[in-house]
Chains A and B, each alone.
Chain A
Amino acid sequence: MLTIDQATYDAIVAHAKRDHPDEACGIVAGPEGSDRPERFIEMINAAGSPTFYEFDSTDLFQLYKDMDERDEEPVVIYHSHTATEAYPSRTDIGLASEPNAHYVLVSTREHGNNDGPVEFRSYRIIDAVVTEEDVTITPTEESTP
Protein backbone atom coordinates (compact mmCIF):
# COMPACT_ATOMS: atom_id res chain seq x y z
CA MET A 1 0.00 0.00 0.00
CA LEU A 2 1.11 3.53 -0.75
CA THR A 3 0.53 6.08 2.00
CA ILE A 4 0.94 9.65 0.79
CA ASP A 5 -0.02 12.97 2.30
CA GLN A 6 -2.58 15.27 0.73
CA ALA A 7 -0.14 18.05 -0.18
CA THR A 8 2.17 15.67 -2.05
CA TYR A 9 -0.79 14.03 -3.79
CA ASP A 10 -2.06 17.46 -4.85
CA ALA A 11 1.40 18.49 -6.10
CA ILE A 12 1.65 15.40 -8.33
CA VAL A 13 -1.83 15.99 -9.76
CA ALA A 14 -1.13 19.69 -10.33
CA HIS A 15 2.10 18.87 -12.17
CA ALA A 16 0.34 16.34 -14.39
CA LYS A 17 -2.44 18.82 -15.24
CA ARG A 18 0.00 21.65 -15.94
CA ASP A 19 2.16 19.61 -18.33
CA HIS A 20 -0.77 18.01 -20.17
CA PRO A 21 -0.77 17.04 -23.10
CA ASP A 22 2.87 16.10 -22.48
CA GLU A 23 3.68 13.50 -19.87
CA ALA A 24 4.82 14.88 -16.52
CA CYS A 25 7.31 13.01 -14.32
CA GLY A 26 9.04 13.23 -10.98
CA ILE A 27 9.96 11.57 -7.75
CA VAL A 28 9.03 11.71 -4.10
CA ALA A 29 12.08 10.86 -2.04
CA GLY A 30 12.05 9.60 1.52
CA PRO A 31 14.44 8.27 4.16
CA GLU A 32 16.01 5.01 3.06
CA GLY A 33 13.95 2.03 4.18
CA SER A 34 11.15 4.21 5.61
CA ASP A 35 8.64 3.83 2.74
CA ARG A 36 7.59 7.42 3.53
CA PRO A 37 7.32 9.72 0.49
CA GLU A 38 8.38 13.07 1.99
CA ARG A 39 10.34 15.22 -0.44
CA PHE A 40 8.50 16.06 -3.66
CA ILE A 41 10.77 16.66 -6.64
CA GLU A 42 9.34 17.68 -10.00
CA MET A 43 11.52 16.61 -12.89
CA ILE A 44 11.65 17.91 -16.44
CA ASN A 45 10.51 15.43 -19.06
CA ALA A 46 13.56 15.55 -21.33
CA ALA A 47 11.54 13.76 -24.01
CA GLY A 48 8.92 16.56 -23.98
CA SER A 49 6.41 14.10 -25.40
CA PRO A 50 2.74 13.14 -24.97
CA THR A 51 3.70 9.44 -25.08
CA PHE A 52 7.12 9.18 -23.45
CA TYR A 53 9.02 10.51 -20.48
CA GLU A 54 12.65 10.41 -19.50
CA PHE A 55 14.62 12.26 -16.84
CA ASP A 56 17.50 14.24 -18.33
CA SER A 57 20.71 12.28 -17.62
CA THR A 58 22.45 15.20 -15.89
CA ASP A 59 19.36 15.94 -13.76
CA LEU A 60 19.14 12.24 -12.91
CA PHE A 61 22.73 12.20 -11.70
CA GLN A 62 22.22 15.28 -9.55
CA LEU A 63 18.99 13.86 -8.11
CA TYR A 64 20.62 10.58 -7.06
CA LYS A 65 23.63 12.41 -5.67
CA ASP A 66 21.35 14.62 -3.54
CA MET A 67 19.35 11.62 -2.32
CA ASP A 68 22.54 9.76 -1.51
CA GLU A 69 23.83 12.65 0.59
CA ARG A 70 20.54 12.77 2.50
CA ASP A 71 20.30 8.97 2.94
CA GLU A 72 17.14 9.00 0.86
CA GLU A 73 15.77 6.76 -1.84
CA PRO A 74 13.05 7.20 -4.46
CA VAL A 75 9.88 6.13 -2.61
CA VAL A 76 7.51 7.24 -5.38
CA ILE A 77 8.31 7.55 -9.08
CA TYR A 78 5.40 9.21 -10.83
CA HIS A 79 4.42 10.05 -14.37
CA SER A 80 1.28 10.83 -16.28
CA HIS A 81 -0.47 9.25 -19.20
CA THR A 82 -2.33 11.91 -21.12
CA ALA A 83 -4.56 9.91 -23.47
CA THR A 84 -4.71 6.46 -21.90
CA GLU A 85 -5.55 4.90 -18.55
CA ALA A 86 -3.31 5.14 -15.50
CA TYR A 87 -1.90 1.65 -15.95
CA PRO A 88 1.76 0.78 -16.72
CA SER A 89 2.42 0.37 -20.43
CA ARG A 90 4.80 -2.23 -21.82
CA THR A 91 7.42 0.52 -21.98
CA ASP A 92 6.83 1.42 -18.32
CA ILE A 93 7.19 -2.21 -17.30
CA GLY A 94 10.29 -2.82 -19.42
CA LEU A 95 12.08 0.24 -18.06
CA ALA A 96 11.04 0.05 -14.40
CA SER A 97 14.31 -0.23 -12.51
CA GLU A 98 13.57 0.67 -8.89
CA PRO A 99 12.25 -2.47 -7.19
CA ASN A 100 11.64 -0.59 -3.93
CA ALA A 101 9.64 2.25 -5.45
CA HIS A 102 5.92 2.80 -5.77
CA TYR A 103 5.22 3.60 -9.41
CA VAL A 104 2.41 6.16 -9.45
CA LEU A 105 0.48 6.81 -12.65
CA VAL A 106 -1.89 9.70 -13.14
CA SER A 107 -4.16 9.92 -16.17
CA THR A 108 -5.15 13.37 -17.37
CA ARG A 109 -7.20 12.07 -20.31
CA GLU A 110 -10.54 13.17 -18.81
CA HIS A 111 -9.97 16.82 -17.99
CA GLY A 112 -6.55 17.72 -19.41
CA ASN A 113 -5.31 21.04 -18.01
CA ASN A 114 -8.64 21.76 -16.32
CA ASP A 115 -9.99 21.10 -12.86
CA GLY A 116 -11.66 17.79 -12.30
CA PRO A 117 -10.83 14.37 -10.95
CA VAL A 118 -7.93 12.31 -12.28
CA GLU A 119 -7.12 8.64 -12.11
CA PHE A 120 -4.31 8.26 -9.54
CA ARG A 121 -3.06 4.69 -9.13
CA SER A 122 -0.01 3.03 -7.66
CA TYR A 123 1.92 -0.11 -8.58
CA ARG A 124 4.92 -2.19 -7.71
CA ILE A 125 6.84 -3.27 -10.78
CA ILE A 126 9.35 -6.00 -10.00
CA ASP A 127 10.95 -8.26 -12.61
CA ALA A 128 8.32 -7.14 -15.13
CA VAL A 129 5.46 -8.17 -12.81
CA VAL A 130 2.94 -5.40 -12.09
CA THR A 131 1.03 -5.43 -8.80
CA GLU A 132 -1.51 -2.69 -8.17
CA GLU A 133 -1.79 -1.46 -4.59
CA ASP A 134 -4.17 0.70 -2.58
CA VAL A 135 -3.44 4.38 -2.12
CA THR A 136 -4.15 5.99 1.25
CA ILE A 137 -4.10 9.76 1.43
CA THR A 138 -3.38 11.26 4.83
CA PRO A 139 -3.96 14.84 5.97
CA THR A 140 -0.88 17.02 5.60
CA GLU A 141 0.64 17.92 8.95
CA GLU A 142 0.82 21.64 9.50
CA SER A 143 4.40 22.67 10.08
CA THR A 144 4.83 25.00 13.02
CA PRO A 145 5.73 28.52 11.93
Chain B
Amino acid sequence: MAIEVRIPTILRTYTDGAKAVEANGATLTALIDDLEGSHPGLKGRLLENGDLRRFVNVYINDEDVRFIGGLEATLADGDQVVVLPAVAGGAR
Protein backbone atom coordinates (compact mmCIF):
# COMPACT_ATOMS: atom_id res chain seq x y z
CA MET B 1 0.00 0.00 0.00
CA ALA B 2 1.44 3.33 -1.00
CA ILE B 3 0.36 6.90 -0.67
CA GLU B 4 2.04 9.65 -2.63
CA VAL B 5 3.04 12.62 -0.49
CA ARG B 6 3.88 15.87 -2.31
CA ILE B 7 6.58 17.83 -0.51
CA PRO B 8 6.86 21.65 -0.76
CA THR B 9 10.16 23.27 -1.76
CA ILE B 10 11.03 24.37 1.76
CA LEU B 11 10.81 20.81 3.15
CA ARG B 12 12.71 19.08 0.35
CA THR B 13 15.89 19.28 2.43
CA TYR B 14 14.35 16.31 4.29
CA THR B 15 13.68 14.31 1.12
CA ASP B 16 16.99 14.77 -0.73
CA GLY B 17 15.27 17.26 -3.01
CA ALA B 18 12.43 14.93 -4.01
CA LYS B 19 9.13 16.65 -4.86
CA ALA B 20 7.14 13.58 -3.87
CA VAL B 21 7.78 10.55 -1.71
CA GLU B 22 5.80 7.44 -0.88
CA ALA B 23 4.61 6.47 2.56
CA ASN B 24 2.10 4.23 4.30
CA GLY B 25 -0.52 4.67 6.97
CA ALA B 26 -4.22 4.18 7.58
CA THR B 27 -4.56 7.65 9.12
CA LEU B 28 -2.68 10.91 8.68
CA THR B 29 -1.04 10.37 12.09
CA ALA B 30 0.24 6.95 11.00
CA LEU B 31 1.41 8.37 7.67
CA ILE B 32 3.39 11.14 9.36
CA ASP B 33 5.01 8.61 11.72
CA ASP B 34 5.96 6.49 8.72
CA LEU B 35 7.39 9.55 6.95
CA GLU B 36 9.46 10.39 10.02
CA GLY B 37 11.03 6.93 9.82
CA SER B 38 12.23 7.45 6.27
CA HIS B 39 12.77 11.24 6.46
CA PRO B 40 13.77 12.15 10.00
CA GLY B 41 12.92 15.71 10.99
CA LEU B 42 9.88 16.05 8.77
CA LYS B 43 7.39 15.31 11.55
CA GLY B 44 8.57 18.28 13.59
CA ARG B 45 7.94 20.58 10.64
CA LEU B 46 4.37 19.34 10.31
CA LEU B 47 3.31 18.93 13.94
CA GLU B 48 3.62 20.99 17.07
CA ASN B 49 2.49 19.69 20.47
CA GLY B 50 0.77 16.78 18.76
CA ASP B 51 -1.30 18.95 16.43
CA LEU B 52 -0.92 20.03 12.86
CA ARG B 53 1.00 23.31 12.81
CA ARG B 54 -1.22 26.36 12.35
CA PHE B 55 0.60 27.48 9.19
CA VAL B 56 1.00 24.11 7.50
CA ASN B 57 -1.79 22.86 5.27
CA VAL B 58 -2.22 19.18 4.46
CA TYR B 59 -4.65 17.99 1.82
CA ILE B 60 -5.91 14.49 1.08
CA ASN B 61 -7.21 14.18 -2.49
CA ASP B 62 -7.77 17.96 -2.79
CA GLU B 63 -9.46 18.32 0.63
CA ASP B 64 -7.94 20.31 3.47
CA VAL B 65 -7.61 17.71 6.27
CA ARG B 66 -8.92 20.26 8.78
CA PHE B 67 -12.35 19.66 7.26
CA ILE B 68 -12.12 15.85 7.20
CA GLY B 69 -10.91 14.83 10.64
CA GLY B 70 -7.47 16.42 10.93
CA LEU B 71 -4.79 13.98 12.01
CA GLU B 72 -7.42 11.23 12.32
CA ALA B 73 -8.38 11.56 8.65
CA THR B 74 -8.28 8.14 7.02
CA LEU B 75 -6.16 7.14 4.06
CA ALA B 76 -6.37 4.39 1.48
CA ASP B 77 -4.01 2.97 -1.10
CA GLY B 78 -3.66 5.35 -4.03
CA ASP B 79 -4.61 8.50 -2.10
CA GLN B 80 -2.58 11.61 -2.70
CA VAL B 81 -1.41 13.80 0.17
CA VAL B 82 -0.19 17.33 -0.50
CA VAL B 83 1.67 19.45 2.04
CA LEU B 84 1.67 23.22 1.49
CA PRO B 85 2.93 25.86 3.89
CA ALA B 86 0.44 28.70 4.36
CA VAL B 87 1.16 31.86 2.43
CA ALA B 88 0.63 34.37 5.20
CA GLY B 89 2.14 37.27 7.07
CA GLY B 90 1.39 40.89 7.73
CA ALA B 91 2.33 43.93 9.72
CA ARG B 92 0.89 42.56 12.98
A residues whose Cβ falls under 8 Å from a Cβ of B: 23, 25, 27, 43, 47, 49-55, 57-58, 60-61, 64-65, 73, 77, 79, 81-84, 88-89, 91-92, 95-100
Contact = CB atoms under 8 A, between A and B. Distances in A.
B9 A89 contact: no
A73 B64 CA distance: 21
Interface in B50-86: 55, 57, 59, 62, 64, 66, 82, 84-86
A102 to B, nearest CB: 14
A64 B84 contact: yes
Given A57-B64, A61-B62, A79 B86 contact: no
Nearest to A85: B91
Contact of A60 (B9, B10, B87, B89): B87
Contacts of A99: 9-10
A21 to B, nearest CB: 11
Contacts of A98: 9-10, 85, 87
B9 A61 contact: no
A89 B55 contact: no
Contacts of A52: 88-92
B25 interface: no
B61 to A, nearest CB: 11
A interface, by DSSP: helix, strand, loop or mixed? mixed
Contact of B89 (A43, A84, A95): A95
A60 B86 contact: yes
A61 B89 contact: no
Interface of B: 8-10, 55, 57, 59, 62, 64, 66, 82, 84-92
A138 to B, nearest CB: 26
A141 to B, nearest CB: 28
Contact of B86 (A23, A55, A81): A55
A43 B88 CA distance: 11
Given A60-B57, A61-B62, A61-B64, A92 B85 contact: no
Contacts of B57: 57, 60-61
B64 A89 contact: no
Given A57-B57, A57-B66, A61-B62, A77 B87 contact: yes
